[in-house]
Structure 1
Protein backbone atom coordinates (compact mmCIF):
# COMPACT_ATOMS: atom_id res chain seq x y z
CA UNK A 1 0.00 0.00 0.00
CA UNK A 2 1.24 3.49 -0.87
CA UNK A 3 1.77 6.20 1.72
CA UNK A 4 -1.53 7.49 3.10
CA UNK A 5 -2.43 11.05 2.11
CA UNK A 6 -4.28 12.65 5.01
CA UNK A 7 -6.87 15.36 4.54
CA UNK A 8 -7.59 17.77 7.38
CA UNK A 9 -11.23 18.30 8.33
CA UNK A 10 -12.51 21.41 10.05
CA UNK A 11 -15.65 19.74 11.37
CA UNK A 12 -17.09 16.28 11.88
CA UNK A 13 -18.67 15.01 8.62
CA UNK A 14 -22.48 15.27 9.03
CA UNK A 15 -24.01 11.79 9.28
CA UNK A 16 -27.10 12.88 7.32
CA UNK A 17 -24.85 13.75 4.39
CA UNK A 18 -22.91 10.51 4.82
CA UNK A 19 -26.04 8.36 4.63
CA UNK A 20 -27.36 10.31 1.64
CA UNK A 21 -24.09 9.55 -0.17
CA UNK A 22 -24.35 5.90 0.91
CA UNK A 23 -27.72 5.63 -0.81
CA UNK A 24 -26.33 7.21 -3.98
CA UNK A 25 -23.40 4.74 -3.99
CA UNK A 26 -25.56 1.68 -3.30
CA UNK A 27 -24.87 0.20 -6.76
CA UNK A 28 -21.05 0.38 -6.55
CA UNK A 29 -19.38 -2.94 -7.44
CA UNK A 30 -15.81 -4.01 -6.58
CA UNK A 31 -14.87 -5.42 -9.97
CA UNK A 32 -12.32 -8.21 -10.37
CA UNK A 33 -9.37 -6.53 -8.64
CA UNK A 34 -10.55 -3.97 -6.06
CA UNK A 35 -8.09 -1.63 -4.35
CA UNK A 36 -8.46 0.83 -1.50
CA UNK A 37 -7.81 4.55 -2.00
CA UNK A 38 -4.65 5.76 -0.24
CA UNK A 39 -6.47 8.45 1.70
CA UNK A 40 -6.95 9.26 5.37
CA UNK A 41 -8.91 11.83 7.35
CA UNK A 42 -7.79 13.86 10.32
CA UNK A 43 -9.92 15.85 12.77
CA UNK A 44 -8.12 17.86 15.45
CA UNK A 45 -9.07 19.53 18.72
CA UNK A 46 -12.24 17.51 19.36
CA UNK A 47 -13.78 18.79 22.60
CA UNK A 48 -16.17 17.14 25.03
CA UNK A 49 -19.91 17.39 24.48
CA UNK A 50 -21.22 16.70 27.99
CA UNK A 51 -24.78 15.91 26.88
CA UNK A 52 -23.59 13.51 24.21
CA UNK A 53 -21.28 11.70 26.65
CA UNK A 54 -24.11 11.42 29.19
CA UNK A 55 -26.45 10.01 26.52
CA UNK A 56 -23.78 7.51 25.45
CA UNK A 57 -23.22 6.36 29.02
CA UNK A 58 -26.94 5.93 29.54
CA UNK A 59 -27.60 3.84 26.42
CA UNK A 60 -24.51 1.65 26.93
CA UNK A 61 -24.61 1.30 30.72
CA UNK A 62 -21.39 3.11 31.74
CA UNK A 63 -21.19 4.96 35.04
CA UNK A 64 -19.80 8.52 35.20
CA UNK A 65 -16.27 8.39 36.63
CA UNK A 66 -14.50 11.38 35.09
CA UNK A 67 -12.98 9.27 32.30
CA UNK A 68 -14.15 8.50 28.79
CA UNK A 69 -15.64 5.01 28.39
CA UNK A 70 -13.11 2.85 26.56
CA UNK A 71 -15.38 2.60 23.51
CA UNK A 72 -16.36 6.29 23.44
CA UNK A 73 -13.59 7.55 21.09
CA UNK A 74 -15.26 5.39 18.42
CA UNK A 75 -18.07 7.97 18.47
CA UNK A 76 -15.61 10.57 17.17
CA UNK A 77 -14.15 8.14 14.66
CA UNK A 78 -17.30 6.65 13.13
CA UNK A 79 -18.29 9.72 11.02
CA UNK A 80 -14.75 9.67 9.62
CA UNK A 81 -15.10 5.95 8.89
CA UNK A 82 -18.26 6.66 6.94
CA UNK A 83 -16.63 9.49 5.03
CA UNK A 84 -13.70 7.23 4.10
CA UNK A 85 -15.88 4.46 2.68
CA UNK A 86 -17.79 7.07 0.68
CA UNK A 87 -14.59 8.43 -0.89
CA UNK A 88 -14.37 8.37 -4.69
CA UNK A 89 -12.62 5.17 -5.68
CA UNK A 90 -13.72 3.15 -2.67
CA UNK A 91 -14.68 -0.21 -4.23
CA UNK A 92 -17.61 -1.35 -2.04
CA UNK A 93 -21.08 0.05 -1.25
CA UNK A 94 -21.43 1.21 2.36
CA UNK A 95 -24.82 -0.48 2.74
CA UNK A 96 -23.35 -3.90 1.93
CA UNK A 97 -20.66 -3.92 4.62
CA UNK A 98 -20.70 -6.05 7.79
CA UNK A 99 -18.59 -5.20 10.84
CA UNK A 100 -17.02 -8.56 11.79
CA UNK A 101 -14.21 -7.74 14.23
CA UNK A 102 -13.06 -4.80 16.30
CA UNK A 103 -9.91 -4.23 18.34
CA UNK A 104 -9.35 -1.29 20.70
CA UNK A 105 -6.13 -0.47 22.56
CA UNK A 106 -6.28 2.15 25.29
CA UNK A 107 -2.81 3.26 26.37
CA UNK A 108 -4.06 5.14 29.41
CA UNK A 109 -7.40 6.37 30.76
CA UNK A 110 -8.60 9.48 28.91
CA UNK A 111 -9.96 12.30 31.06
CA UNK A 112 -13.26 13.85 30.00
CA UNK A 113 -11.80 17.30 29.39
CA UNK A 114 -8.88 16.32 27.18
CA UNK A 115 -8.98 17.60 23.59
CA UNK A 116 -8.50 14.79 21.11
CA UNK A 117 -6.93 14.54 17.67
CA UNK A 118 -8.44 11.75 15.57
CA UNK A 119 -7.10 10.26 12.36
CA UNK A 120 -8.45 7.34 10.31
CA UNK A 121 -7.28 5.45 7.24
CA UNK A 122 -7.97 2.26 5.24
CA UNK A 123 -5.84 -0.85 4.83
CA UNK A 124 -5.41 -4.66 4.84
CA UNK A 125 -7.74 -5.45 1.95
CA UNK A 126 -7.81 -9.19 1.31
CA UNK A 127 -9.96 -11.73 -0.47
CA UNK A 128 -11.58 -14.20 1.91
CA UNK A 129 -14.21 -16.89 1.69
CA UNK A 130 -17.28 -15.46 -0.09
CA UNK A 131 -15.99 -11.91 -0.34
CA UNK A 132 -13.48 -9.34 0.88
CA UNK A 133 -12.29 -7.99 4.22
CA UNK A 134 -10.62 -4.66 4.89
CA UNK A 135 -9.71 -2.61 7.94
CA UNK A 136 -10.34 0.93 9.06
CA UNK A 137 -7.59 2.09 11.43
CA UNK A 138 -8.08 4.88 13.96
CA UNK A 139 -5.52 6.65 16.12
CA UNK A 140 -6.40 9.15 18.85
CA UNK A 141 -3.83 11.44 20.44
CA UNK A 142 -3.79 14.36 22.84
CA UNK A 143 -0.91 16.78 23.30
CA UNK A 144 1.19 14.68 20.95
CA UNK A 145 0.63 11.53 23.03
CA UNK A 146 -1.08 8.50 21.47
CA UNK A 147 -3.78 7.43 23.93
CA UNK A 148 -6.13 5.17 21.95
CA UNK A 149 -6.28 3.25 18.70
CA UNK A 150 -8.56 0.77 16.99
CA UNK A 151 -8.95 -1.52 14.02
CA UNK A 152 -12.43 -2.17 12.63
CA UNK A 153 -12.56 -5.11 10.22
CA UNK A 154 -15.40 -5.05 7.69
CA UNK A 155 -16.62 -7.73 5.30
CA UNK A 156 -18.22 -7.37 1.88
CA UNK A 157 -19.98 -10.44 0.50
CA UNK A 158 -19.38 -11.05 -3.20
CA UNK A 159 -19.53 -14.85 -3.56
CA UNK A 160 -16.71 -17.27 -4.36
CA UNK A 161 -13.24 -16.27 -3.30
CA UNK A 162 -10.44 -18.01 -1.49
CA UNK A 163 -11.13 -19.76 1.77
CA UNK A 164 -10.09 -17.81 4.81
CA UNK A 165 -7.92 -19.54 7.36
CA UNK A 166 -9.94 -21.76 9.65
CA UNK A 167 -9.21 -21.54 13.33
CA UNK A 168 -9.33 -24.56 15.56
CA UNK A 169 -12.43 -24.19 17.69
CA UNK A 170 -11.65 -24.55 21.36
CA UNK A 171 -14.23 -25.84 23.80
CA UNK A 172 -15.58 -22.91 25.87
CA UNK A 173 -14.54 -23.08 29.51
CA UNK A 174 -17.07 -22.47 32.29
CA UNK A 175 -17.56 -18.79 33.08
CA UNK A 176 -16.91 -17.46 36.57
CA UNK A 177 -19.50 -14.70 36.21
CA UNK A 178 -22.82 -14.77 34.34
CA UNK A 179 -25.39 -11.97 34.08
CA UNK A 180 -28.68 -11.95 32.16
CA UNK A 181 -29.80 -8.80 30.34
CA UNK A 182 -33.07 -7.76 28.74
CA UNK A 183 -32.34 -5.86 25.49
CA UNK A 184 -35.30 -3.70 24.37
CA UNK A 185 -36.57 -3.58 20.80
CA UNK A 186 -35.71 0.13 20.46
CA UNK A 187 -32.02 -0.23 21.41
CA UNK A 188 -30.96 0.25 17.78
CA UNK A 189 -32.90 3.51 17.51
CA UNK A 190 -31.58 4.74 20.85
CA UNK A 191 -27.95 3.87 20.07
CA UNK A 192 -28.37 5.19 16.52
CA UNK A 193 -29.54 8.55 17.88
CA UNK A 194 -26.32 8.81 19.92
CA UNK A 195 -23.83 7.28 17.49
CA UNK A 196 -25.31 8.61 14.25
CA UNK A 197 -25.36 5.05 12.88
CA UNK A 198 -28.96 4.86 11.68
CA UNK A 199 -28.47 1.92 9.35
CA UNK A 200 -32.00 0.63 8.58
CA UNK A 201 -31.13 -2.89 9.77
CA UNK A 202 -30.99 -1.54 13.34
CA UNK A 203 -34.19 0.53 13.42
CA UNK A 204 -37.50 -1.21 12.74
CA UNK A 205 -38.73 -4.68 11.70
CA UNK A 206 -39.85 -3.42 8.29
CA UNK A 207 -36.63 -1.53 7.50
CA UNK A 208 -34.57 -4.55 8.59
CA UNK A 209 -36.61 -6.88 6.37
CA UNK A 210 -35.72 -4.75 3.35
CA UNK A 211 -32.12 -5.91 3.90
CA UNK A 212 -32.89 -9.57 4.53
CA UNK A 213 -33.29 -9.65 8.33
CA UNK A 214 -36.42 -10.98 10.03
CA UNK A 215 -36.43 -7.94 12.35
CA UNK A 216 -34.07 -5.24 13.60
CA UNK A 217 -30.69 -6.18 15.10
CA UNK A 218 -28.54 -4.53 17.75
CA UNK A 219 -25.39 -2.64 16.72
CA UNK A 220 -22.19 -4.63 17.20
CA UNK A 221 -20.43 -1.67 18.82
CA UNK A 222 -23.33 -1.24 21.25
CA UNK A 223 -22.89 -4.90 22.23
CA UNK A 224 -19.16 -4.37 22.77
CA UNK A 225 -19.75 -1.20 24.79
CA UNK A 226 -22.44 -2.86 26.92
CA UNK A 227 -20.07 -5.73 27.75
CA UNK A 228 -17.30 -3.32 28.76
CA UNK A 229 -19.73 -1.27 30.83
CA UNK A 230 -20.42 -4.46 32.80
CA UNK A 231 -16.65 -4.76 33.35
CA UNK A 232 -16.00 -1.03 33.84
CA UNK A 233 -14.45 -1.30 37.31
CA UNK A 234 -12.40 -4.37 36.39
CA UNK A 235 -10.61 -2.80 33.41
CA UNK A 236 -6.84 -2.26 33.76
CA UNK A 237 -5.38 1.16 34.47
CA UNK A 238 -2.34 0.24 32.40
CA UNK A 239 -2.39 -0.14 28.61
CA UNK A 240 -4.72 -2.91 27.46
CA UNK A 241 -6.40 -4.24 24.33
CA UNK A 242 -10.00 -5.39 23.87
CA UNK A 243 -10.60 -7.63 20.87
CA UNK A 244 -14.09 -8.73 19.89
CA UNK A 245 -15.46 -10.95 17.17
CA UNK A 246 -19.06 -10.30 16.18
CA UNK A 247 -20.92 -13.58 15.73
CA UNK A 248 -24.65 -14.15 15.16
CA UNK A 249 -26.93 -11.09 14.84
CA UNK A 250 -28.83 -10.13 17.98
CA UNK A 251 -32.48 -9.73 16.97
CA UNK A 252 -34.22 -7.40 19.41
CA UNK A 253 -36.02 -7.41 21.73
CA UNK A 254 -33.93 -10.18 23.26
CA UNK A 255 -32.79 -11.82 26.46
CA UNK A 256 -29.04 -12.44 26.45
CA UNK A 257 -26.42 -13.83 28.79
CA UNK A 258 -23.10 -12.14 29.48
CA UNK A 259 -20.28 -14.41 30.66
CA UNK A 260 -16.82 -13.44 31.89
CA UNK A 261 -13.82 -15.36 33.23
CA UNK A 262 -10.13 -14.57 33.94
CA UNK A 263 -7.68 -15.63 31.22
CA UNK A 264 -3.99 -14.99 30.45
CA UNK A 265 -3.56 -11.91 32.61
CA UNK A 266 -6.87 -10.45 31.43
CA UNK A 267 -10.28 -11.94 30.79
CA UNK A 268 -12.43 -13.62 28.17
CA UNK A 269 -16.07 -12.67 27.81
CA UNK A 270 -19.00 -13.74 25.69
CA UNK A 271 -22.47 -12.50 24.89
CA UNK A 272 -24.84 -15.40 24.25
CA UNK A 273 -28.46 -15.89 23.32
CA UNK A 274 -30.96 -16.80 26.03
CA UNK A 275 -30.24 -20.50 25.47
CA UNK A 276 -26.64 -19.92 26.61
CA UNK A 277 -25.33 -21.53 23.42
CA UNK A 278 -25.75 -19.31 20.35
CA UNK A 279 -22.99 -16.64 20.40
CA UNK A 280 -23.51 -12.97 19.57
CA UNK A 281 -20.03 -11.76 20.54
CA UNK A 282 -16.76 -13.17 21.85
CA UNK A 283 -14.15 -10.89 23.40
CA UNK A 284 -10.74 -10.88 25.03
CA UNK A 285 -9.11 -8.29 27.30
CA UNK A 286 -5.31 -8.51 27.49
CA UNK A 287 -2.30 -6.34 28.31
CA UNK A 288 -1.31 -4.21 25.33
CA UNK A 289 1.69 -5.47 23.38
Structure 2
Protein backbone atom coordinates (compact mmCIF):
# COMPACT_ATOMS: atom_id res chain seq x y z
CA UNK A 1 0.00 0.00 0.00
CA UNK A 2 1.44 3.36 -1.03
CA UNK A 3 0.29 6.84 -0.11
CA UNK A 4 1.68 10.33 -0.62
CA UNK A 5 2.82 11.83 2.68
CA UNK A 6 4.53 15.21 2.43
CA UNK A 7 5.57 16.86 5.67
CA UNK A 8 5.83 20.66 6.06
CA UNK A 9 9.29 21.89 5.07
CA UNK A 10 10.32 18.54 3.54
CA UNK A 11 10.42 17.20 0.04
CA UNK A 12 7.49 15.02 -1.01
CA UNK A 13 7.74 11.49 0.27
CA UNK A 14 6.08 8.33 -0.92
CA UNK A 15 4.97 6.35 2.13
CA UNK A 16 4.99 2.59 1.80
CA UNK A 17 3.19 0.74 4.60
CA UNK A 18 4.57 -2.72 5.25
CA UNK A 19 2.81 -5.74 6.74
CA UNK A 20 5.98 -7.31 8.16
CA UNK A 21 9.64 -6.48 8.63
CA UNK A 22 11.76 -7.08 5.52
CA UNK A 23 13.83 -10.27 5.57
CA UNK A 24 17.26 -8.90 6.40
CA UNK A 25 19.65 -11.44 4.87
CA UNK A 26 18.16 -11.30 1.33
CA UNK A 27 18.21 -7.49 1.50
CA UNK A 28 21.87 -7.49 2.51
CA UNK A 29 22.78 -9.93 -0.26
CA UNK A 30 20.80 -8.00 -2.86
CA UNK A 31 22.39 -4.74 -1.77
CA UNK A 32 25.82 -6.36 -1.95
CA UNK A 33 25.20 -7.61 -5.48
CA UNK A 34 24.08 -4.16 -6.61
CA UNK A 35 26.98 -2.34 -4.96
CA UNK A 36 29.68 -2.69 -7.68
CA UNK A 37 27.48 -0.95 -10.26
CA UNK A 38 26.92 2.15 -8.13
CA UNK A 39 28.95 5.35 -8.53
CA UNK A 40 28.43 7.42 -5.37
CA UNK A 41 28.19 11.20 -5.63
CA UNK A 42 26.77 13.74 -3.15
CA UNK A 43 24.61 15.29 -5.87
CA UNK A 44 22.82 12.03 -6.70
CA UNK A 45 19.05 11.80 -6.31
CA UNK A 46 17.70 9.99 -3.25
CA UNK A 47 14.49 7.96 -3.55
CA UNK A 48 11.68 9.70 -1.60
CA UNK A 49 10.39 6.47 -0.07
CA UNK A 50 9.35 6.43 3.57
CA UNK A 51 8.78 2.94 4.97
CA UNK A 52 6.25 2.48 7.78
CA UNK A 53 5.82 -0.72 9.78
CA UNK A 54 3.03 -0.95 12.38
CA UNK A 55 2.68 -3.56 15.11
CA UNK A 56 6.39 -3.70 15.97
CA UNK A 57 7.34 -5.66 19.10
CA UNK A 58 10.75 -6.55 20.50
CA UNK A 59 11.56 -10.26 20.52
CA UNK A 60 12.47 -11.16 24.11
CA UNK A 61 15.31 -13.56 23.22
CA UNK A 62 16.98 -11.23 20.73
CA UNK A 63 16.61 -8.33 23.14
CA UNK A 64 18.28 -10.34 25.90
CA UNK A 65 21.16 -11.27 23.57
CA UNK A 66 21.56 -7.63 22.61
CA UNK A 67 21.63 -6.51 26.23
CA UNK A 68 24.29 -9.11 27.04
CA UNK A 69 26.66 -8.20 24.21
CA UNK A 70 26.27 -4.46 24.84
CA UNK A 71 26.46 -4.64 28.63
CA UNK A 72 23.05 -3.18 29.40
CA UNK A 73 21.93 -4.09 32.92
CA UNK A 74 18.39 -5.08 33.79
CA UNK A 75 16.94 -1.68 34.70
CA UNK A 76 14.06 -3.24 36.60
CA UNK A 77 11.57 -1.17 34.63
CA UNK A 78 11.24 -3.43 31.58
CA UNK A 79 12.23 -0.71 29.10
CA UNK A 80 14.17 -0.96 25.85
CA UNK A 81 17.81 0.21 25.89
CA UNK A 82 18.05 3.61 24.27
CA UNK A 83 19.85 2.18 21.22
CA UNK A 84 17.56 -0.81 20.64
CA UNK A 85 14.96 0.88 18.38
CA UNK A 86 17.85 1.32 15.93
CA UNK A 87 17.99 -2.49 15.75
CA UNK A 88 14.23 -2.70 15.17
CA UNK A 89 14.47 -0.18 12.32
CA UNK A 90 17.60 -1.68 10.74
CA UNK A 91 15.79 -4.06 8.33
CA UNK A 92 13.78 -1.12 6.97
CA UNK A 93 16.94 0.94 6.56
CA UNK A 94 18.57 -1.93 4.69
CA UNK A 95 15.59 -2.21 2.37
CA UNK A 96 16.02 1.47 1.49
CA UNK A 97 19.82 1.45 1.22
CA UNK A 98 19.94 -1.87 -0.61
CA UNK A 99 17.44 -0.77 -3.26
CA UNK A 100 18.53 -0.30 -6.86
CA UNK A 101 17.55 3.39 -6.75
CA UNK A 102 19.69 4.17 -3.67
CA UNK A 103 22.84 5.80 -5.08
CA UNK A 104 25.45 4.58 -2.58
CA UNK A 105 26.89 1.04 -2.52
CA UNK A 106 25.70 -0.89 0.52
CA UNK A 107 28.94 -2.86 0.76
CA UNK A 108 31.52 -0.96 2.77
CA UNK A 109 29.20 1.74 4.14
CA UNK A 110 30.65 3.07 7.40
CA UNK A 111 28.46 4.42 10.20
CA UNK A 112 29.96 7.82 11.11
CA UNK A 113 27.53 9.33 13.63
CA UNK A 114 24.19 8.92 15.35
CA UNK A 115 21.89 11.27 17.26
CA UNK A 116 19.11 9.69 19.31
CA UNK A 117 16.33 11.38 21.24
CA UNK A 118 14.07 9.47 23.60
CA UNK A 119 11.04 11.51 24.58
CA UNK A 120 9.54 8.99 26.99
CA UNK A 121 10.32 5.55 28.41
CA UNK A 122 9.82 2.78 25.83
CA UNK A 123 8.43 -0.37 27.50
CA UNK A 124 10.00 -3.58 26.19
CA UNK A 125 6.56 -5.22 25.97
CA UNK A 126 5.00 -2.36 23.99
CA UNK A 127 3.74 -2.35 20.41
CA UNK A 128 4.97 0.45 18.18
CA UNK A 129 5.00 1.91 14.69
CA UNK A 130 8.35 2.38 12.93
CA UNK A 131 9.06 4.83 10.12
CA UNK A 132 12.37 5.01 8.24
CA UNK A 133 13.49 7.28 5.41
CA UNK A 134 16.68 8.57 3.80
CA UNK A 135 16.76 12.32 4.43
CA UNK A 136 19.47 13.11 1.88
CA UNK A 137 23.13 12.99 0.86
CA UNK A 138 25.99 15.31 1.79
CA UNK A 139 29.62 15.63 0.67
CA UNK A 140 32.31 14.37 3.02
CA UNK A 141 36.08 14.78 2.76
CA UNK A 142 36.35 11.02 2.21
CA UNK A 143 33.28 10.48 0.03
CA UNK A 144 29.53 10.88 0.40
CA UNK A 145 27.33 10.57 3.50
CA UNK A 146 23.68 9.54 3.64
CA UNK A 147 21.44 10.50 6.56
CA UNK A 148 18.84 7.92 7.63
CA UNK A 149 16.00 9.03 9.93
CA UNK A 150 14.17 6.47 12.09
CA UNK A 151 11.09 7.26 14.17
CA UNK A 152 9.26 5.14 16.75
CA UNK A 153 5.68 5.95 17.72
CA UNK A 154 3.45 4.68 20.48
CA UNK A 155 0.04 5.33 18.98
CA UNK A 156 0.15 8.95 17.82
CA UNK A 157 3.03 9.86 20.16
CA UNK A 158 6.60 10.11 18.90
CA UNK A 159 8.62 8.44 21.66
CA UNK A 160 12.02 7.93 20.00
CA UNK A 161 13.86 9.21 16.96
CA UNK A 162 17.35 8.94 15.47
CA UNK A 163 19.48 10.34 12.67
CA UNK A 164 22.33 8.14 11.44
CA UNK A 165 25.03 9.14 8.97
CA UNK A 166 26.59 6.49 6.71
CA UNK A 167 29.72 7.13 4.64
CA UNK A 168 30.48 5.67 1.25
CA UNK A 169 34.20 6.20 0.75
CA UNK A 170 35.38 7.24 -2.69
CA UNK A 171 37.86 9.57 -4.33
CA UNK A 172 37.22 13.28 -3.80
CA UNK A 173 38.91 16.41 -5.07
CA UNK A 174 42.01 17.26 -2.98
CA UNK A 175 41.34 19.94 -0.40
CA UNK A 176 37.57 19.78 -0.63
CA UNK A 177 35.37 19.48 2.45
CA UNK A 178 38.34 19.48 4.82
CA UNK A 179 37.38 19.62 8.50
CA UNK A 180 38.01 22.77 10.49
CA UNK A 181 41.09 22.64 12.71
CA UNK A 182 40.08 21.07 16.00
CA UNK A 183 40.71 22.77 19.30
CA UNK A 184 43.18 21.13 21.64
CA UNK A 185 41.43 18.15 23.19
CA UNK A 186 41.55 17.47 26.91
CA UNK A 187 41.17 13.71 27.48
CA UNK A 188 38.29 12.70 29.71
CA UNK A 189 39.20 10.79 32.89
CA UNK A 190 39.49 7.05 32.36
CA UNK A 191 36.80 4.89 33.95
CA UNK A 192 37.42 1.36 32.68
CA UNK A 193 39.47 -0.71 30.22
CA UNK A 194 37.62 -3.18 28.00
CA UNK A 195 39.22 -6.13 26.25
CA UNK A 196 37.34 -6.82 23.01
CA UNK A 197 37.45 -10.28 21.46
CA UNK A 198 37.92 -11.02 17.80
CA UNK A 199 34.40 -12.45 17.65
CA UNK A 200 32.69 -9.29 18.93
CA UNK A 201 31.50 -8.24 15.47
CA UNK A 202 29.95 -11.65 14.87
CA UNK A 203 28.25 -11.70 18.28
CA UNK A 204 26.82 -8.22 17.86
CA UNK A 205 25.83 -9.06 14.28
CA UNK A 206 23.89 -12.11 15.49
CA UNK A 207 22.04 -10.02 18.11
CA UNK A 208 21.37 -6.99 15.90
CA UNK A 209 21.15 -8.47 12.41
CA UNK A 210 23.87 -6.12 11.11
CA UNK A 211 26.23 -8.48 9.29
CA UNK A 212 28.24 -6.00 7.26
CA UNK A 213 31.39 -7.92 6.24
CA UNK A 214 33.72 -5.21 7.59
CA UNK A 215 32.69 -6.36 11.09
CA UNK A 216 32.78 -10.13 10.72
CA UNK A 217 36.23 -11.41 9.77
CA UNK A 218 39.71 -10.08 8.91
CA UNK A 219 39.51 -11.45 5.37
CA UNK A 220 36.23 -9.72 4.53
CA UNK A 221 37.33 -6.52 6.28
CA UNK A 222 40.51 -6.37 4.17
CA UNK A 223 38.38 -6.23 1.02
CA UNK A 224 37.35 -2.74 2.16
CA UNK A 225 40.72 -1.49 3.32
CA UNK A 226 40.71 -2.48 7.00
CA UNK A 227 43.59 -4.56 8.38
CA UNK A 228 41.25 -6.50 10.68
CA UNK A 229 37.54 -6.67 11.41
CA UNK A 230 36.21 -3.55 13.12
CA UNK A 231 33.61 -3.19 15.84
CA UNK A 232 30.17 -1.89 14.86
CA UNK A 233 29.79 1.80 15.53
CA UNK A 234 26.44 1.15 17.18
CA UNK A 235 28.02 -1.41 19.49
CA UNK A 236 30.58 1.16 20.67
CA UNK A 237 27.82 3.72 21.25
CA UNK A 238 25.57 1.21 23.01
CA UNK A 239 28.39 -0.09 25.21
CA UNK A 240 29.35 3.43 26.26
CA UNK A 241 25.73 4.37 26.98
CA UNK A 242 25.20 1.17 28.95
CA UNK A 243 28.12 2.21 31.14
CA UNK A 244 27.16 5.89 31.30
CA UNK A 245 23.43 5.46 31.90
CA UNK A 246 20.65 7.52 30.31
CA UNK A 247 17.64 9.24 31.91
CA UNK A 248 14.15 8.23 30.66
CA UNK A 249 13.95 11.44 28.59
CA UNK A 250 17.28 12.13 26.96
CA UNK A 251 19.18 13.00 23.81
CA UNK A 252 22.48 11.36 22.96
CA UNK A 253 24.98 11.99 20.22
CA UNK A 254 27.94 9.83 19.21
CA UNK A 255 30.57 10.36 16.55
CA UNK A 256 32.56 7.38 15.32
CA UNK A 257 35.98 8.96 14.70
CA UNK A 258 38.23 5.96 14.12
CA UNK A 259 37.56 2.24 13.72
CA UNK A 260 38.04 -0.08 16.68
CA UNK A 261 40.08 -3.02 15.42
CA UNK A 262 39.25 -6.48 16.71
CA UNK A 263 40.62 -7.96 18.88
CA UNK A 264 41.87 -5.06 20.97
CA UNK A 265 41.71 -3.11 24.20
CA UNK A 266 39.94 0.23 24.60
CA UNK A 267 39.53 2.70 27.44
CA UNK A 268 36.11 4.09 28.34
CA UNK A 269 36.35 7.61 29.75
CA UNK A 270 33.60 9.93 30.96
CA UNK A 271 32.86 13.12 32.87
CA UNK A 272 29.37 14.44 33.56
CA UNK A 273 27.48 14.37 30.24
CA UNK A 274 30.43 13.50 27.99
CA UNK A 275 32.06 10.18 27.16
CA UNK A 276 34.68 8.80 24.83
CA UNK A 277 36.32 5.54 23.82
CA UNK A 278 40.02 5.57 23.07
CA UNK A 279 42.80 3.06 22.50
CA UNK A 280 46.53 2.76 21.99
CA UNK A 281 49.63 3.25 24.08
CA UNK A 282 49.85 6.16 26.55
CA UNK A 283 50.86 9.26 24.63
CA UNK A 284 49.80 7.66 21.34
CA UNK A 285 46.13 7.13 22.11
CA UNK A 286 43.57 7.33 19.33
CA UNK A 287 40.03 8.51 19.99
CA UNK A 288 37.51 6.08 18.53
CA UNK A 289 34.20 7.50 19.76
CA UNK A 290 33.10 10.76 21.34
CA UNK A 291 29.64 11.36 22.69
CA UNK A 292 27.32 13.31 24.91
CA UNK A 293 24.15 12.78 26.93
CA UNK A 294 21.76 15.68 27.58
CA UNK A 295 18.06 16.41 28.08
CA UNK A 296 16.03 16.58 24.84
CA UNK A 297 16.72 19.89 23.18
CA UNK A 298 19.62 20.55 25.56
Please, what TM-score do these two structures have when normalized by structure 1? Answer: 0.92
Give yes or no for the alignment of 1:272 onto 2:286. no
Equivalent position to 2:79, from 61, 67, 80: 67
Equivalent position to 1:195, from 196, 199, 208: 208
Unaligned runs of 5+ in 2: 1-9
- The aligned counterpart of 1:209 is 222
Taking the TM superposition and a 5 Å limit, the aligned residue runs for 1:38-53 are: 38-53=48-63
Q: Is the 8 Å Cα contact of residues 269 and 275 (structure 2) preserved in structure 1?
A: yes
Give yes or no for the alignment of 1:101 onto 2:113. yes
SS of 1:163 mapped into structure 2: coil
Give distance in 2, aligned partners of 1:22 and 1:244: 26
- Deviation digits for residues 28-85 of structure 1, max 9, x if unmatched? 2236841101111111111131111111100100012211100011111111111001
Taking the TM superposition and a 5 Å limit, the aligned residue runs for 1:5-20 are: 5-20=14-29
- Deviation digits for residues 86-145 of structure 1, max 9, x if unmatched? 223211110132111111111112111111110001113122324222200011011211
Structure 1's consecutive aligned runs of 4 or more residues displaced over 4 angstroms after TM superposition are none
Give yes or no for the alignment of 1:143 onto 2:155. yes
Give yes or no for the alignment of 1:229 onto 2:237. no
Give distance in 1, aligned partners of 2:93 and 2:124: 23
Give distance in 2, aligned partners of 1:241 and 1:31: 31
* CA root-mean-square deviation: 1.7
Shift of 1:160: 1.9
SS of 2:234 mapped into structure 1: helix
Give yes or no for the alignment of 1:128 onto 2:144. no
Give distance in 2, aligned partners of 1:177 and 1:206: 33
Q: Is the 8 Å Cα contact of residues 177 and 261 (structure 1) preserved in structure 2?
A: no
- The aligned counterpart of 2:3 is none
Query: CA 1:32–1:255 in structure 2 vs 1: closer, same or farther (change >3 Å)?
Result: closer
SS of 1:94 mapped into structure 2: coil
Equivalent position to 2:188, from 141, 155, 175: 175
Give distance in 2, aligned partners of 1:165 and 1:199: 28
Equivalent position to 1:57, from 56, 67, 74: 67
Q: Is the 8 Å Cα contact of residues 132 and 150 (structure 2) preserved in structure 1?
A: yes
Please, what TM-score do these two structures have when normalized by structure 2? Answer: 0.89
Give distance in 1, aligned partners of 2:156 and 2:177: 38
Equivalent position to 2:291, from 272, 283, 286: 283
